[in-house]
């Protein structure tokens, strides 16, 4: 598997490719920070408008770091630090819904509600790493590249996120 040649971001097809490859992750990142679904989508759009503006200044290999840094700053400008509320979607039908336990639905539902609250209470840097791994299915190396951190730092945050989540869950 050979790597593809890198192109200039000001080249429109390259820009479009980059949008397609990264837009969802940028949107998700903003959502993890506490933006609503609509806000996250708007800010992701603004992030990509900035990328177009800066296309001559950003080398393709630095684009992930650029996008996440810009998205993070835009979010800071927009939002005052407040309580983070996350609203996930529930899957219509939990996978094991019909295992004969009539309380299963209710229990699952309840645990999901608590988990949603607990995730919102995690420190932001742990929450982002945790969700990028679990939701975006990124490896630690990929997360490290996006956030411009070492893999070790990501692993620590991930570990800490799990430890904290368990503790928060016990008190909810």
Residues that bind other proteins (CB under 8 A): 1-4, 10-13, 16-17, 19-21, 23-24, 27-28, 31, 37, 40-41, 44-45, 48-50, 52-53, 55-56, 77, 87-99, 108, 111-112, 115-116, 133-135, 137, 139-140, 152, 154-156, 158-160, 162-163, 165-166, 169
State the nearest-atom distance from the C-beta of 66 to other proteins, in Å: 15
Packing angle between helix 151-170 and helix 124-134, nearest 10 degrees?
Answer: 100
State the Cα–Cα distance between residues 170 and 157, nearest whole angstrom. 20
- The residue with tokens 């969700």 is 131
Burial of residue 50 (CB within 10 Å: 0-12, 13-18, 19+) is: middle
Nearer Cβ to other proteins (54/124): 54
CA pair distance 143, 127, nearest whole angstrom: 12
Nearer to other proteins (CB atom), residue 83 or residue 99: 99
Q: How far is the CB of 81 from other proteins (least distance, A)?
A: 19
């Amino acid at each position: 598997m050979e790597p593809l040649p890198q192109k200039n971001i000001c080249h429109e097809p390259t820009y479009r490719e980059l949008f397609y490859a990264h837009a969802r992750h940028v949107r998700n990142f903003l959502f993890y920070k506490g933006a609503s679904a609509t806000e996250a989508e708007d800010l992701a759009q603004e992030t990509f408008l900035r990328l177009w503006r800066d296309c001559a200044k950003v080398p393709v290999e630095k684009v992930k770091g650029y996008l996440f840094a810009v998205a993070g700053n835009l979010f800071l400008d927009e939002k005052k630090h407040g309580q983070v509320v996350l609203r996930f979607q529930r899957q219509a039908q939990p996978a094991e819904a019909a295992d004969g336990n009539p309380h299963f639905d209710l229990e699952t539902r309840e645990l999901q509600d608590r988990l949603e609250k607990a995730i919102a209470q995690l420190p932001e840097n742990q929450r982002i790493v945790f969700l990028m791994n679990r939701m975006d299915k990124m490896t630690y190396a990929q997360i490290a590249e996006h956030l411009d951190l070492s893999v070790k730092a990501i692993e620590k945050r991930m570990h800490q996120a799990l430890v904290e989540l368990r503790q928060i869950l016990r008190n909810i």
